[in-house]
Amino acid sequence: MREYEVNNRGNLVFGGCDTVALAKEYGTPLYVIDEEYLRAKCREIRETFLEKYPNTKAVYASKALQTLEVCRVIKEEGLGFDTVSGGEVFTALKAGVEPETMVFHGNNKTLDEIEFAVKNNVGRFVVDNEYELENIGIIAKKLGKTVKVQIRITPGIDSHTHEYISTAKIDSKFGVFCEGETRDSIIGKAIDNPSIELMGFHCHVGSQLMDNQDHMMALPIVLNMVKEVNERFGFAPSELNLGGGFGIRYVDSEQETRVADFTDPMMEEINGFFAENKLPVPTIYIEPGRWIAGNAGITLYTVGSIKEIKGIKTYLAVDGGMPDNPRKILYGAEYEAVTANRAAVPANKQFSIVGKCCESGDVLIDKCNLAENTVSGDILAVFATGAYNYSMASNYNRVPRPALVMVKSGKARLSVRRETYEDMILREI
């Protein structure tokens, strides 16, 4: 969450817009994305990483939040794109993203997806496994192209985050372990395949990491692997991709992180290692997603039923829930909220904010203090919903997906229209 602003009507202001007026104009639930904030985050990456260190690249992890407009904003700010499916590649292409700035991820890219990305000249493939490497080689050969790849490796650390977003353990569905036969086999095959150009390695330790501990634990393991691979194959990487995972402030008690908190110590270690080992310093990539988009967004809901169970709790139900924000039910994610039309009133009554779905687990916030005079019909704003909400939304219970508006300096524009009942049956035969 970010520090919030309240106007003289006592309403929450976001991106310069009165959120109560937004709810009235566009309906609820409503995703609201602050364009200036997206740009400011990209600017911080440029100023404290890309411009500070030569040969660096930042690719935005599209999975956090991808729309055509978001792609255009991020592209204008000079970042490339991490994509993880044919659909993400397609959307970025449609938005006018140059394919060479795209990195294509995924632990099980289909043959169709590989062919689509190769045909469209996607810049880098992050190869997950030997089966995929072989398929990329076959498809690249058929199309008369050479594909540039980074191999995804797992350093075997258990990052300090939720199990479902921890990605660097030995027991991981992603990548190959950084030691042993499997590693040597995939590297050897990548080097030998004339349709493949091995650029280097990729490692993503996990997501929503609030300090650099895990990144700094993984880095020496990756660098040690670089040394071993150099000794064994005479191969020096021209690229090293450090992934994303930089955490954001969801709740009051957390601190915002700066990108430099992660990148400065990593760059120091990287530069030291390559100087010491007399190897050229590779181009360093980072792949932040949540850190750019998370606090760029809020979700507005209309308060429906309020049900007090004496001595236990007061349930406050909103007109959305797990279909527009599945993070609580997936990871036990925490959020903060405010009654947007009573934002100046002290928040001194505890509510349990729940969604409208037919699941007891459809809870948005277990315990949330709101203005005690909050009533049905009020507007509730949940903070920090910019990442992994719109992109993870579903139609569970046939609930149409919300509209998305972009706000910028007091002006709002509809960017994704609200889904209709008709939309939900469009593909049915």
Ligand X SMILES: Cc1ncc(COP(=O)(O)O)c(C=O)c1O
Q: Which residues carry out catalysis? A: 358
Site string for ligand X, 146-175 (x = CB under 6 A): ---------------------x--------
Nearer to ligand X, 273 or 291 (CB): 291
Task: In angstroms, give the least distance from the CB of 243 to ligand X.
Answer: 5
Angle, alpha carbons 130-124-241 (nearest 5°): 85
Q: Give Dmax over CA atoms of the chain in angstroms.
A: 71
Task: Using the rule CB under 6 A, give the single segment among 227-235, 239-247, 297-305, 395-403 that binds ligand X.
Answer: 239-247
> In the structure encoding, which two tokens stand for residue 168, read together?
């660097």
Q: How far is the CB of 174 from ligand X (least distance, A)?
A: 7
For residues 135 and 111, the answer to whether their CB atoms sit within 8 Å is yes
Sole window of 2-10, 66-74, 286-294, 301-309 interacting with ligand X (rule: CB under 6 A):
286-294
Stretch that binds ligand X, among 228-236, 237-245, 249-257, 420-428 (CB under 6 A): 237-245
| Cis amide prior to 280 (ω within 30 degrees) | no
Interaction between residue 289 and ligand X (CB under 6 A): yes
Residues, the chain: 429
Residue 26 or 250 with smaller CB distance to ligand X: 250
Q: Is 290 in the site for ligand X (CB under 6 A)?
A: yes
The nearest distance, CB 212 to ligand X, in angstroms, is 13
- Tally the C-alpha atoms within 13 A of residue 69's C-alpha that lie toward its C-beta: 17
Is the separation of the CB atoms in 284 and 59 below 8 Å?
Answer: no
Least distance (Å) from ligand X to the CB of residue 341? Answer: 32
Taking CB under 6 A as the binding criterion, the range among 38-46, 244-252, 263-271, 394-402 that sits at the site for ligand X is 244-252
User: Which residues in 70-109 contact ligand X (CB under 6 A)?
Assistant: 82, 105
Check whether the bond before 155 is cis (ω within 30° of 0): no
Residue position matching structure tokens 């700010």: 77
- Closer residue to ligand X (CB): 28 or 166: 166
Smallest distance from the beta carbon of 206 to ligand X, in angstroms?
Answer: 8
Q: Tell me whether residue 239 or residue 287 sits nearer to ligand X (CB atom).
A: 287
Beta carbon nearer to ligand X, 63 or 342: 63
For ligand X, the binding residue among 12, 23, 61, 382 (CB under 6 A) is 61
> Which of positions 193-232 make contact with ligand X (CB under 6 A)?
204, 207-208
Of 245, 282, 297, 321, which lies in the binding site for ligand X, with binding defined by CB under 6 A?
245
Q: Contact 135/186 with Cβ under 8 angstroms? A: no
Strand 283-286 relative to strand 56-61, pairing:
parallel
Q: Which residues pair with 12 in a beta bridge?
A: 6
From residue 164, give the alpha-carbon distance in Å to each of 167, 277, 291, 312, 327: 8, 36, 18, 31, 11
Task: Find the shortest distance in angstroms from Cβ 229 to ligand X.
Answer: 20
Q: In this chain, which stretch among 14-22, 238-246, 254-262, 269-277 interacts with ligand X, using CB under 6 A?
A: 238-246
d(CA 171, CA 161): 15
Residue burial 16-35, b: 16+ Cβ < 10 Å; e: rest: ebbbbbbbeebebbbbbbbb
Number of residues that bind ligand X (CB under 6 A): 17
In angstroms, what is the minimal distance from the CB of 97 to ligand X?
Answer: 17
Say whether residue 57 binds ligand X (CB under 6 A): no
Tell me the sheet residues that pair with 338: 381
Q: Give the one residue of 29, 200, 288, 402 binding ligand X; rule: CB under 6 A.
A: 288
Q: What is the DSSP string of 233-256?
A: H----SEEE----B----STTS--
Q: Which of 399, 320, 330, 332 is nearest to 365 (CA)?
A: 332
Q: Would you tell me which residues interact with ligand X (CB under 6 A)?
A: 61, 64, 82, 105, 167, 204, 207-208, 243-246, 287-291
